[in-house]
Structure 1
Amino acid sequence: MKPVRILFVCLGNICRSPLAEGVMLDLVHRAGHGQAVSVDSAGIGAWHVGAPPDQRSISVAKAHGIDIAALRGRQVGVADFAAFDLILGMDMSNVRDLGALAPSTMAGKVHLFMRYATGQAGDVPDPYYEAADVFETLYQTLEAGCLSLLARLEERAS
């Protein structure tokens, strides 16, 4: 597989994007592509820089055998546009914010996660103000998207 660097981005980097990072890393390693695919996550805002993921994201990941507890929030920066091949926003608001931050020559790296991964437009809803059970739905959405994304990357490589 051709090497690819992926950055998942949500609003604060504590719910959706770190869970997407964990899910994608797990899938990549199980598929034997750990050397070719690197993954990270970041947030649009700086509210949670240095903080661990939301406990509900940690818990749902752990229930599926994935440990994201050591991840720490960080804010997306201009340097990320040079460092990553794909920058995937969890919702259209994230994509708009990323587009405004992106150097004009690198704006083509920014995509809506579900549209890029599955071909279906749609936001990954922010579960921050929701009950813990919503995080299982979030996990299922991210897993489906990441599986589709991995298949797309494998197809591109062949």
Structure 2
Amino acid sequence: MLSISSSDIPYTFLETTMTIRVLFVCTANICRSPMAEGIFRHLVAEARLTGQIETDSAAISPMRVGEPPDPRAQRTVLKRGIDISDLRSREVWRDDFHQFDYLVAMDRTNHAYLRSLCPRGCEHKIFLMMEFAPAIGIAEVPDPYAGGEEGFELVYRALEMAARNLLTYIRQQHQLTPTE
């Protein structure tokens, strides 16, 4: 699993953040990152941490801004009771580094873009999604856009495992406990 200790994260990051904010980032914000957002939001609700963790997703490219998630992405998560139909693609902004505690990239290209946009002192907030699921054996979440439904199913399984481990990591880093 990820080898980051609490000593690697500034005190203010750990102690003064009331609500933990997580931003999932992919290329167009219509497949992988909205799926990740929906899955993670669902897991946060199951863990009774909704008031303590907020999620969003964004794109590194403006080509699909304002569009809903791909219908195949919507169908894939809806089979599991997760509705992402209300989400709309948006572009990642430099200010997001100040608004979010975790910026989670789906692939190395997204990760490199985030690093190029990142203000000094915020580098510790950038992660690759699959760092949280090394057992799967893939370094990046594959982009299912050009493929069929089976590609979205594969992406769902990878995202679910990584999202579960990311939630565990955040709970441990911030000592979060469920609300009643």
TM superposition score normalised by structure 2: 0.83
Q: Which residue does 1:56 correspond to in 2?
A: 72
Larger-Rg structure: 2
> CA–CA distance in 2 between the matches of 1:63 and 1:118?
22
Q: Which residue does 1:103 correspond to in 2?
A: 119
> CA–CA distance in 2 between the matches of 1:111 and 1:28?
19
> CA–CA distance in 2 between the matches of 1:96 and 1:156?
25
Identity of aligned residues (%): 38
Point out 4+ residue stretches in structure 1 off by more than 6 angstroms. none
Matches within 5 A, 1:85-124: 85-115=101-131, 117-118=132-133, 122-124=139-141
Q: Residue 6 of structure 1: SS of its match in structure 2?
A: strand
| 19-28 vs 98-107, which moves further | 98-107
Unaligned runs of 5+ in 2: 1-17, 176-180
Deviation at 1:151, TM superposition (A): 1.2
> CA–CA distance in 1 between the matches of 2:74 and 2:133?
25
Deviation readout 1:42-61 (Å, 9 max, x if unpaired): 00000110000000000001
Q: Residue 90 of structure 2: SS of its match in structure 1?
A: coil
Deviation readout 1:71-127 (Å, 9 max, x if unpaired): 000000111010000001000110001100111221221111111x23566100111
> CA–CA distance in 2 between the matches of 1:24 and 1:40?
10
> CA–CA distance in 2 between the matches of 1:119 and 1:104?
28
Q: What is the root-mean-square deviation in Å for CA atoms of aligned residues?
A: 1.6
Q: Residue 112 of structure 2: SS of its match in structure 1?
A: helix
> CA–CA distance in 1 between the matches of 2:65 and 2:75?
20
**Correspondence for 2:35 among 11, 15, 19:** 19
Number of residue pairs the alignment of both structures matches: 157
Q: Which residue does 1:40 correspond to in 2?
A: 56
Q: Which residue does 2:99 correspond to in 1?
A: 83
Q: Which residue does 2:159 correspond to in 1?
A: 142
Deviation readout 1:118-150 (Å, 9 max, x if unpaired): 356610011111111211111111000001111
> CA–CA distance in 1 between the matches of 2:30 and 2:66?
10
Matches within 5 A, 1:63-74: 63-74=79-90
> CA–CA distance in 2 between the matches of 1:118 and 1:15?
19
